[in-house]
Structure 1
Amino acid sequence: MSALEIQNIRKNYGAVETLKGIDVALESGEFLVLLGSSGCGKSTLLNIIAGLAEATSGNITIGGRSVLGVHPKDRDIAMVFQSYALYPNLSVARNIGFGLEMRKVPVAERDKAVRDAASLLQIENLLERKPSQLSGGQRQRVAIGRALVRKPQVFLFDEPLSNLDAKLRLEMRTELKRLHQMLKTTVVYVTHDQIEAMTLATRIAVMKDGRIEQLGTPEEIYDHPATLYVAGFVGAPPMNILDIKVDNGSLAIAGSDLRLPLPDRFKAVARNGTRLALGIRPEALRLASAEPSCRHALPVRIEVVELTGPELVITARIGQQKLTACLAPRAKVSQGDATTLAVDDEALHLFDPATGRACLA
């Protein structure tokens, strides 16, 4: 039995359909990330799961029980919002235990639950403070602690790290990963940050325009993007997308004289004369100077060189099209250089630009 099952959920606001048939089933202990840009429907879906919004049609079950029409407090869920939503006049301890207090949980049991949550979150020394005396990261830990003491079947997180600076976000991301590994809880987590999605999730649902573009593990999403949207959204820098034409067993790069051999795995699906999109991840490219016999060589002219620390990111031109590559940080290249990049056969992806779908061998 699934811990959470979302069945053909649709949501209309008048004539506008914001969710267009969402189907997902989560087993106990899964960490599902709803990933997408603003307006894709991910927060709307989370609110429907939480009971803060009603679906137009479809069904949601938690632990095998339909929760449509069930009040949020009776759904056996706990939610952590983007804003911390702490009571400023209450101590950290009372903020964490407030939900239990409202449910008339005995004081001794409530205090133990608060201490256990504080220990897990490493905030035992903050229990007597007020929220105004805490940093942003500490406030977010208190908000998470308030959810933890509920011990619900499903935790819901709505962009909980968005208000934190980069360093704190990294720390809290690691903390959330640690907590999930320890507690084996079922989590639905909303974010627009693909790094958060890749590092936290056991599965990612990439959403666009009220639909799930692709549902899979982080490795599947990254290594085998199902659509052009997923290819461009997941990855930093995003995947290079080049216009090509299949021409007598080769891939002719539009705007240049370059032809690449058509990988054998695509010969059955890439018909001669068709126009396709070629996807290459920037980190799959490397300098070809040490590989004079590489199968796929791309002559480029470098326009921009950026050292990020761990890598050198170059923006180059291949004919009239732009190409980004992530090279070793001490690679000997400069702006204006003409050089050649190499890429392996398995790092090439083909997409149908008309449908946006990947050409699967």
Structure 2
Amino acid sequence: MSALEIENIRKTYGTVETLKGIDISLESGEFLVLLGSSGCGKSTLLNIIAGLAEASGGDIRIGGRSILGVHPKDRDIAMVFQSYALYPNLSVHRNIGFGLEMRKVPAAERERAVLETAKLLQIENLLDRKPGQLSGGQRQRVAIGRALVRKPQVFLFDEPLSNLDAKLRMETRTELKRLHQMLGTTIVYVTHDQIEAMTLATRIAVMRNGRIEQLGTPEEVYDHPATLYVAGFVGSPPMNVLDGVVTGEGLRLDGSGQIIALPARLNGAALPGRRVKIGVRPEALRLAAGETGQPALEVEIEVVELTGPELVVTGRVSGQRVTACLPPRTKLTVGMKQVFSFDEDALHLFDAETELALG
């Protein structure tokens, strides 16, 4: 039995349809990330699961039991908010144990649960403090602790790291990963940050305009994007996308006449005359070193940026922008023309009209 089943969930506000039929089945112990830009519907879906908003259609089941119409406190879920939502006048100890206190859990059992949770999150020394005496990272740990102590079937996280600085985000992200691996909890996590999605999720649901564009493991979403939107949204720097057309010789780029060899695996899907979007990730590009038969691009270099671990190079292929991520000691200068090659497997092809992946 699935831990969480989302079946054809819809949500409308007047004539505006925010969710257009969402279907997800989540097994126990999975970490699902709802990923997408602002307004895609991910937070609306999370609020419907939590009981903070009503669905206009469909069903949601936890442990086989429908929870639509069930009061939030009776859904066997716990939610961690972006704003922490801690009680400022209560100590960390009481904030963590407040839910248990409201459920009339005996004091001795409540004390044991709070101490175990505080130890797990390494905040035992903060139990007597008030939220106002804590840093942002510490407050987030307390908010997570308040959810963990209840041991619900499903945990919901609504962009919990967005208020933290870059260093704390990375540290807390690592902590969340450790906790999930240790406890095997079932989590639904909302974010617009694709790094969080790639590092935390067992599966990612990439959302756009109230629909799921792709649902899969981080590897599947990154290596085999189902649509042009997914290809451009997941990855930093984003995938290079070039306009072109299929010919008998291969893929001809707009504006330059450059021909890219067409991989054999795409022969059946890419018929001559078809308008296409040609995708290749920046890290797949390398300086051509006399290879023959490999796809290649001749790029005029415009910008060279050393980030430390890599050299990010931006250039043009007849007016179309291309980015490459190269080893940091690579010698390149602005204005030079350089041929970049890449493996056939790194080439992605999308129909220019439907934006669906080909092959």
TM-score normalised according to structure 1 size = 0.98
Whole-angstrom CA distance in 2 between matches of 1:112 and 1:307: 51
Structure-2 residue corresponding to 1:314: 313
Structure-2 residue corresponding to 1:303: 302
Structure-1 residue corresponding to 2:277: 277
Contact 1:249 1:272 in 2 (8 A): no
Structure-2 residue corresponding to 1:353: 352
Contact 2:261 2:293 in 1 (8 A): no
The one-letter amino acid paired with 1:143 is A
Q: Deviations over 1:112-162 (max 9, x none)?
A: 100011011010111111111111000000000000011000000000000
Whole-angstrom CA distance in 1 between matches of 2:54 and 2:89: 33
Look up the SS of the partner of 2:10 in the other structure: strand
Whole-angstrom CA distance in 1 between matches of 2:272 and 2:156: 48
Look up the SS of the partner of 2:176 in the other structure: helix
The residue correspondences of 1:182-193 to structure 2 (distance < 5 A) are: 182-193=182-193
Whole-angstrom CA distance in 2 between matches of 1:224 and 1:358: 9
Q: Deviations over 1:208-259 (max 9, x none)?
A: 0000000000000000000000000000000011001111041101111210
Whole-angstrom CA distance in 2 between matches of 1:24 and 1:350: 27
Whole-angstrom CA distance in 2 between matches of 1:297 and 1:207: 32
Whole-angstrom CA distance in 2 between matches of 1:167 and 1:27: 32
1:149 lines up with 2:141 in the alignment: no
Whole-angstrom CA distance in 2 between matches of 1:292 and 1:198: 32
Contact 1:303 1:316 in 2 (8 A): yes
Contact 2:249 2:259 in 1 (8 A): no
* Percent of aligned pairs with the same amino acid: 75
Q: Quote how far apart the aligned CAs of 1:292 are.
A: 4.0
- Which deviates more, 334-343 or 215-224? 334-343
Contact 2:351 2:357 in 1 (8 A): yes
Segments of structure 1 that go 5 or more residues without pairing to the other structure are: none
Contact 2:20 2:210 in 1 (8 A): yes
Look up the SS of the partner of 1:243 in the other structure: strand
The one-letter amino acid paired with 1:327 is L
Whole-angstrom CA distance in 2 between matches of 1:302 and 1:58: 52
Structure-1 residue corresponding to 2:175: 175
Segments of structure 2 that go 5 or more residues without pairing to the other structure are: none
Whole-angstrom CA distance in 2 between matches of 1:284 and 1:294: 16
The residue correspondences of 1:131-150 to structure 2 (distance < 5 A) are: 131-150=131-150
The one-letter amino acid paired with 2:322 is L
Whole-angstrom CA distance in 1 between matches of 2:261 and 2:306: 32
1:68 lines up with 2:68 in the alignment: yes
Structure-2 residue corresponding to 1:82: 82
Contact 1:305 1:315 in 2 (8 A): yes
Whole-angstrom CA distance in 2 between matches of 1:134 and 1:109: 26
Q: Deviations over 1:287-323 (max 9, x none)?
A: 11x3443522211110011111111111111122110
1:248 lines up with 2:243 in the alignment: no
The one-letter amino acid paired with 2:114 is V
Structure-2 residue corresponding to 1:344: 343
1:96 lines up with 2:125 in the alignment: no
TM-score normalised according to structure 2 size = 0.99
Whole-angstrom CA distance in 1 between matches of 2:235 and 2:291: 29
Runs of 4+ residues deviating >2 angstroms: 290-294
The one-letter amino acid paired with 2:62 is I
The one-letter amino acid paired with 2:330 is A
The one-letter amino acid paired with 1:146 is R
Q: Deviations over 1:4-29 (max 9, x none)?
A: 00000000000000000000000000
- Which deviates more, 254-263 or 37-46? 254-263
The one-letter amino acid paired with 1:177 is K
Whole-angstrom CA distance in 2 between matches of 1:8 and 1:353: 29
| Closer, same or farther: CA 107–291 of 1 in aligned 2, 3 Å | farther
Count of paired positions: 359
Q: Deviations over 1:253-277 (max 9, x none)?
A: 1111210111100111111111101
Task: Please report the RMSD computed on the Cα atoms of aligned residues, expressed in angstroms.
Answer: 0.8
Whole-angstrom CA distance in 1 between matches of 2:114 and 2:248: 69
Whole-angstrom CA distance in 1 between matches of 2:241 and 2:126: 50
Look up the SS of the partner of 1:238 in the other structure: coil
Contact 1:44 1:53 in 2 (8 A): yes
Look up the SS of the partner of 1:299 in the other structure: strand
Whole-angstrom CA distance in 2 between matches of 1:60 and 1:258: 51
The one-letter amino acid paired with 2:128 is E
Whole-angstrom CA distance in 2 between matches of 1:249 and 1:76: 60
The one-letter amino acid paired with 1:312 is L
Structure-2 residue corresponding to 1:16: 16
1:159 lines up with 2:159 in the alignment: yes
Contact 1:269 1:359 in 2 (8 A): yes
The one-letter amino acid paired with 1:336 is G
Look up the SS of the partner of 1:335 in the other structure: coil
Whole-angstrom CA distance in 1 between matches of 2:291 and 2:49: 55
The one-letter amino acid paired with 1:174 is T
Contact 2:304 2:333 in 1 (8 A): yes
Whole-angstrom CA distance in 1 between matches of 2:281 and 2:352: 17
Structure-1 residue corresponding to 2:2: 2
- Which deviates more, 330-339 or 53-62? 330-339
Contact 1:294 1:342 in 2 (8 A): no
Q: Quote how far apart the aligned CAs of 1:286 are.
A: 0.8
Q: Quote how far apart the aligned CAs of 1:356 are.
A: 1.1
- Which deviates more, 98-107 or 203-212? 98-107
Structure-2 residue corresponding to 1:56: 56
